[in-house]
Every structure is written in structure tokens, then in C-alpha cells.
Amino acid sequence: MRDALGDVQSVLVLGGGSEIALATVRALVARRARTVVLAARRPEELEATAQELRGAGAAVVEAVRFDADDDASEHLRLADDVFDRHGDLDLVLVTAGVLGDQAAAERDGANARAVVETNFGGLVSAIVACTERMRAQGHGALCVLSTVAAERPRRSNFVYGASKAGLDAFVQGLGDSLAGTGVNVLVVRPGFVHTRMTAGLEAAPLATTPEVVAGAILDGLARGAHTVWAPPALRYVMSVLRHVPRPIFRRLPI
Ligand SMILES: NC(=O)c1ccc[n+]([C@@H]2O[C@H](COP(=O)([O-])OP(=O)(O)OC[C@H]3O[C@@H](n4cnc5c(N)ncnc54)[C@H](OP(=O)(O)O)[C@@H]3O)[C@@H](O)[C@H]2O)c1
């Protein structure tokens, strides 16, 4: 259960090695989160992070194996294992994702499908397994990293954008279906964030940091929001871009 001040005390991260996830978890631990479960493809690589979080005040930090590309049955087993061992969880933060190689994916169906399956299909089965447990406990928040690229996929990265648009739509619907159950769903739409994922790419306008995204997430959780943009100005940029007529949209250098 969240504490008397409404702060998250326990969190499961799907994509536990993500830089945005780590910035968020650091901020949560600074605000008294005590139990942190980092689920990642190679949990053994997260030992230094676990030590850091313990040093910052988290009482229980563990890393467990999670691969979005695993079968739904494996995702169900993971959710049951974590919820059974740790009891109620206040937050499930979903940060796993791949940018992919747009040029390769445009011409190779297997490559495109792998991006879509990791970012959308695989996460959907993991998310449903977790939200079923939160529905049963009667409280909790699901926070999912979407992107502004989901709002209107652009020519230059439409495979990633489409995979995130699918995830974004699914999670919005899930949030509506969970209304009244005590479980809130927060969709996070950052723009360009300086992390491993974007290393070597030219920064887009309004580029930001994992810490700014983490701040937007904590603010959204505190308000019980359903959507946050990071930085917030992107909300207005995207509401214009979404309505640009296609002949003009095609001429934009994006
Ligand atoms: N950076 C940006 O500009 C930006 C903008 C908008 C949205 N986002 C979204 O924010 C989230 C976090 O990204 P980030 O910027 O923090 O990048 P990141 O540090 O590269 O994090 C991505 C994480 O996803 C994990 N992952 C990839 N494939 C996986 C799989 N099959 N199963 C489980 N985990 C998998 C990676 O784990 P490994 O260590 O095993 O590779 C990595 O920890 C992503 O969903 C991303 O799409 C990022």
C-alpha cells in the first residue's frame, strides 16, 4: 500500500535496466519506496544498481529475469512469483523496449515483426498478468512508457512508432476498463530522451533527460493522471502535428 503521504512503497519494473526506469526508481527510493524488483533480460548485470538502491534506503531490492519475447505463460509465472513473494505492489513500471533499425525493418518483415512483438505483443501479456494481480489486490498503478512517436508515427521511425501506438492504445483501453477497480493506468509520452537508446542519434527539439521523465512520472502518479508528456510542451506540439494534412506531413523533415 502507498504510505500515508500517498508515496509508492513497492515497485516492479519490467525493463529494469532502462535508464528512464533507473532514474524513476532512484526518485521513488528517495521518496521512501522500500521494495524494488527489477525484471530484466540479464538480471545478473543489475547487482551494482541493486547495491546503490539499498545504499539509498531501499530495504528489499532484487533482480529477476524477464524477457518481453517470452511466452505469455512465462509472464504469468513471473507476475505470480513476484506478487506472491512480495505481497501487494503499488506500482508496475513498464520500460522495456527497443528502437530497432528502421531502414532494415522497412524491407525485412521478420525484423519489423520482432520490433512490434517486443514493444507491443510481448509487453501486453506481461502487463495483463500484472494488472490482474493489481485488480485482485484492489489498488495499484500501472505506468507504461509510450512515446510521442506513438501519437503520429513518422516516416523516419514508423516501425517503432507503430509498435508504440499499439501499446499506447492497448494501455489506454486497459485504463478505461480498470476504472473503479482502484487500479490507475498512466501512459507516459516522452520525446527524445538522452539514454543508451538514443546514443549517437541527433537530438530532436525539446530533447530531455531521464530525470525529467522520472519527475513527470512521479508527478503523474501523485495526481492520478492518465497521461503525461515529457517535457509537457510536447503535448501541444503533438496535438498540432497530429492534425497536419498528410500532403504537408509528408514534406516535413521528420
Ligand atoms: N530514449 C528515448 O528517447 C525514449 C523516448 C520515448 C520513449 N522511450 C521509451 O522509454 C523506455 C525506456 O527507454 P530508455 O530510453 O530508458 O532506453 P534503454 O536504457 O535502452 O532501456 C530499454 C530497456 O529495454 C530493455 N529491453 C529491450 N528488449 C527487451 C526484451 N525483449 N525484454 C525485456 N527487456 C528488454 C533493455 O534491456 P537490455 O539491457 O537487456 O537491452 C533496456 O533495459 C522504452 O520503452 C522506450 O521505448 C524512450
DSSP letters, 235-253, are: HHHHHHHTTS-HHHHTTS-
| pLDDT at residue 4 is higher than 80 | no
Residue 254 CA to ligand 1 center (angstroms) comes to 22
Please indicate, yes or no, if residue 1 is contained in any of the structural domains. Answer: no
Interval 101-123 mean pLDDT:
97
| Global pTM value | 0.97
Select from 95, 99, 170, 192 the residue to mutate for testing ligand 1; criterion: most ligand atoms less than 8 Å from CB. 95
Give the count of domains, the chain.
1
Domain that holds residue 119: 10-249
User: Which residue's C-alpha comes closest to atom 44 of ligand 1?
Assistant: 97
Active site residue 236: no
- Look at residue 254 and tell me if it is in a domain: no
Provide, rounded to the nearest whole percent, the portion of the chain with pLDDT above 70.
100
C-alpha of residue 25 to centroid of ligand 1, in Å: 15
Residue 4 placed within a domain = no
Tell whether 238 is covered by a domain.
Answer: yes
Residue 2 in any domain: the answer is: no
In angstroms, the CA 77 to CA 129 distance is: 9
Angle at Cα 240 formed by Cα 234 and Cα 245, nearest 5°? 140
CATH number for position 238 = 3.40.50.720
Q: Which of these is catalytic: 120, 160, 192, 229?
A: 160
Q: Which amino acid is at 115?
A: V
Question: Does residue 5 carry a pLDDT above 80?
Answer: no
